[in-house]
C-alpha cells in the first residue's frame, strides 16, 4: 500500500481532528490579540503557546492565562 492511499484512508479521522484543533487555536488567538491582559506572560508568549502547542495550548490559555477584566 502506498503512503498516499493510506493517507486517504485516514482522511475521515484527520479532517475533523485538524478542524477542531484549528477552531481552538483560532478562537484562542483572537482572544489573545483582543484582550492584552494576562495573569502571567505577555502577548508574544501566548501567541506562540496557542499556535504551536496543539489542543493543550489554547486550553491552558483559557483556564490559566486569560486575565480577569
Binding site for other proteins (CB under 8 A): 10, 12-13, 16-17, 20-21, 23-24, 27, 31, 55, 58-59, 62-63, 66, 68
CA distances (Å), origin 59, targets 1, 3, 4, 40, 56: 37, 33, 33, 15, 5
Taking the complex as a whole, the smallest distance from the CB of residue 42 to other proteins amounts, in Å, to: 20
Q: Collect all residues with Cβ–Cβ distance below 8 Å to 23 and sequence separation of at least 6.
A: none
Are 41 and 65 contacting, i.e. CB atoms less than 8 angstroms apart? yes
Taking the complex as a whole, the smallest distance from the CB of residue 45 to other proteins amounts, in Å, to: 19
Closer CB to other proteins, 8 or 20, in the complex = 20
Closer CB to other proteins, 21 or 38, in the complex = 21
Amino acid at each position: 500500500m502506498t503512503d498516499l492511499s493510506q493517507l486517504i484512508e485516514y482522511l475521515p479521522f484527520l479532517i475533523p481532528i485538524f478542524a477542531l484543533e484549528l477552531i481552538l487555536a483560532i478562537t484562542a488567538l483572537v482572544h489573545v490579540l483582543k484582550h492584552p491582559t494576562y495573569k502571567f506572560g505577555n502577548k508574544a508568549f501566548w501567541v506562540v503557546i496557542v499556535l504551536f502547542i496543539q489542543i493543550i495550548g489554547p486550553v491552558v490559555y483559557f483556564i490559566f492565562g486569560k486575565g480577569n477584566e
